Structure 1
């Protein structure tokens, strides 16, 4: 009798291939399927020493698996996942497990979990971060959905995950769409991190005229400090690379038009729905949008005027200020992301463990950073912390960094150098710490034109005024 395989994997694009190799490399037998048979044959042939078996129909894949069957879907998010689930469902039995390891929208995952649960099939939405290298050598995994299914899969998932201090970057997140939601927030914070680093580079390039190779050394030095992270590390590496054709710095031959796959937009949509301000992440997403208007920007550069790019700043002092602006803004970006996680946890009754989520991101993923230990400490000390900026370590760091942060924003505004995420972060910090904001005038305006009512500072309740008949102040 043929031995049954321990898990099936569908979808052999780069992430699917590397996860299959990772799983098989940890001693599990894996049946793989791709809709293109040649792709399946070629993949299995490349790894003859591993327990990988190619299957050439969904029925063949399903019948080759141990029961309860465990199938990891690594296909493009959206309609492809729904079509695959529809095709698989008649082939599956009670208690089989489907795992969606793609970047699915969390509301789709919630819907699919409900439908499959009614059919007796257990479903996991598995956030996977780390790119190609992480998938092969140890990603950060964010599993959400059936707790029972996770408990059965935990030995496999924790074995293939990144390991930091002998602990896997994988633990159960919460029910239905929680895993994919946490991955979405990871990506939203990633947008913010990347834009902030790009703005630090931009300030040093535009204001201080520091060439990429010298910037590489600066970022390398920063990576030995509290800013230590994967994104700082790769930025330093990128900035020292040379284009083999032109001999110019590689970064200088890359068109300044950035792409995106949608998770940043999803983060903003969720923030709007839940009423949570995420200005740093929003600025980062809009910065990518604006970058794609290259033709219009070239025209505008010839038409719209700005100030002269002449500065009298001490170079060393401004570099240190950029470092401080980057760290302070990073704190704000993470504060926004975790505030959104907190609101979603309450709204969807997920009971997210925020300190544990920070630990999931310490290795394998794109935003892995030394900084995450501080976030874990913050939520360990106070699981009900309303905003990371209020934790003593972060509030003291913001106080320490704000002079340089304000200097960078002020200098760039005077010189006409766009730094949308630095600016949005500082405005978030200043707005959050204010006793009084001008929303009182907004409420007066809303009541004036739309009778929307307002609250008073001295009497409880909601009020409406006949503004045209209110007495005027005596001049």
Structure 2
């Protein structure tokens, strides 16, 4: 994702070409734009990565703690999803992680502390989004999820004092379980779409402000290989930008708006399970809010009146 002066980029192009990844013989290396654009793109890539990782983690949490599915079976579910529209590098590695056992035969994931660290790129994207008045809500929610996970002792203390729904072990009929799993797949796919949509929307806003003249189809092609967020969904994104390079938001395209309309109820149903039963699904919940936000009505008129009142 090199950016900067073109002559400088040309001087090191041969080095970059020897290091590049490729997708079906198509290079995943390309000049991004003027100074700062390459670094900014990498930051947004990492922000999308934060959101997508949390979305998979929440899906795993619900399958394990609500449907009482063990790691081996969840790995099979993720493996099936990875062969379809949810194909991605993150899904691929997660299905492998779920099968990993230690020398005693225990699933390794069950022994890992539920505390997630961060290197800061997610918060950088969130800070930039705030500066640009850009609603990068999924990334921001995923950053806060990591922050909340890090206060493990505080969470343990709060669990003794605060009331929370208790997930009861329950046996579900096969048909009922399959129905929820299918809804989870649709909810996750829609949430992923919103994650990429917000990322590309922020790139568009930054490009306009900083005069980078970013090429979004080209960026999506670069993401296809050698990147943590590589996935089959990028092919749909490439098609949208190929046909409508100036589109303001991916959700305004015919394909993504159709998916949103078809899968929004599944996302609502999955989030509702979390609300009723206890497992926190913060980024899936945020995705629902983001997907429902492009409505002609807004609840902000009282805020405007309040601001007018107190000056």
How high is the TM-score relative to the length of structure 1?
Answer: 0.63
- One of 356, 377, 389 as aligned partner of 2:239: 377
CA apart distance, 1:247: 2.2
**Residue 165 (1) aligns with residue 50 (2):** no
Give the Cα–Cα distance (whole angstroms) in 1 for the partners of residues 102 and 306 of structure 2.
56
Give the Cα–Cα distance (whole angstroms) in 2 for the partners of residues 165 and 283 of structure 1.
35
CA apart distance, 1:154: 2.2
**Residue 297 (1) aligns with residue 297 (2):** no
Q: Which residue of 2 aligns with 1:388?
A: 250
By relative contact order (CA 8 Å, sep 6+), the higher-ranking structure is 2
Unaligned runs of 5+ in 2: none
CA apart distance, 1:158: 2.2
Q: Which residue of 2 aligns with 1:342?
A: 204
CA apart distance, 1:330: 0.5
- One of 129, 132, 140 as aligned partner of 1:271: 129
CA apart distance, 1:316: 0.8
SS in 2 for 1:196: helix
Q: Which residue of 1 aligns with 2:184?
A: 322
Contact kept in structure 2, 1:187 and 1:264, CA below 8 Å:
yes
Which structure shows the bigger proportion of residues in strand conformation?
Answer: 1
Give the Cα–Cα distance (whole angstroms) in 2 for the partners of residues 288 and 307 of structure 1.
22
**Residue 443 (1) aligns with residue 301 (2):** no
Which structure shows the bigger proportion of residues in helix conformation?
Answer: 2
Q: Which residue of 1 aligns with 2:71?
A: 212
1:379-430 C-alpha deviation (Å, 9 max, x unpaired):
1111111001111111111122122111101111011210000000100111
CA apart distance, 1:155: 3.0
CA apart distance, 1:370: 1.1
Q: Which residue of 1 aligns with 2:80?
A: 221
Q: Which residue of 2 aligns with 1:398?
A: 260
Q: Which residue of 1 aligns with 2:141?
A: 283
1:298-327 C-alpha deviation (Å, 9 max, x unpaired):
111121112242477821111111111111
CA apart distance, 1:440: 1.0
Give the Cα–Cα distance (whole angstroms) in 1 for the partners of residues 10 and 205 of structure 2.
26
Give the Cα–Cα distance (whole angstroms) in 2 for the partners of residues 428 and 163 of structure 1.
33
Give the Cα–Cα distance (whole angstroms) in 2 for the partners of residues 196 and 160 of structure 1.
30
- One of 411, 425, 428 as aligned partner of 2:273: 411
1:211-262 C-alpha deviation (Å, 9 max, x unpaired):
1111000000000001101000000000001122x42111000001001101
Give the Cα–Cα distance (whole angstroms) in 1 for the partners of residues 292 and 278 of structure 2.
22
Q: Which residue of 2 aligns with 1:425?
A: 287
SS in 1 for 2:12: helix
Give the Cα–Cα distance (whole angstroms) in 1 for the partners of residues 310 and 64 of structure 2.
48
**Residue 180 (1) aligns with residue 39 (2):** yes
- One of 241, 249, 257 as aligned partner of 2:107: 249
Give the Cα–Cα distance (whole angstroms) in 2 for the partners of residues 201 and 406 of structure 1.
17
Give the Cα–Cα distance (whole angstroms) in 2 for the partners of residues 354 and 199 of structure 1.
29
Q: Which residue of 1 aligns with 2:8?
A: 149
Extract structure 1 runs of 4+ deviating beyond 4 A.
Answer: 310-313
Give the Cα–Cα distance (whole angstroms) in 2 for the partners of residues 252 and 442 of structure 1.
45
Contact kept in structure 2, 1:169 and 1:360, CA below 8 Å:
yes
Give the Cα–Cα distance (whole angstroms) in 2 for the partners of residues 190 and 308 of structure 1.
31
Give the number of aligned pairs. Answer: 307
1:15-46 C-alpha deviation (Å, 9 max, x unpaired):
xxxxxxxxxxxxxxxxxxxxxxxxxxxxxxxx
CA apart distance, 1:437: 0.3
SS in 2 for 1:369: coil
Q: Which residue of 1 aligns with 2:165?
A: 307
Contact kept in structure 2, 1:159 and 1:168, CA below 8 Å:
no
Unaligned runs of 5+ in 1: 1-141, 451-475
Q: Which residue of 2 aligns with 1:231?
A: 90
Give the Cα–Cα distance (whole angstroms) in 2 for the partners of residues 331 and 297 of structure 1.
31
CA apart distance, 1:449: 1.2
CA apart distance, 1:159: 2.8
Give the Cα–Cα distance (whole angstroms) in 1 for the partners of residues 166 and 233 of structure 2.
37
Contact kept in structure 2, 1:192 and 1:333, CA below 8 Å:
yes
Give the Cα–Cα distance (whole angstroms) in 1 for the partners of residues 265 and 198 of structure 2.
22
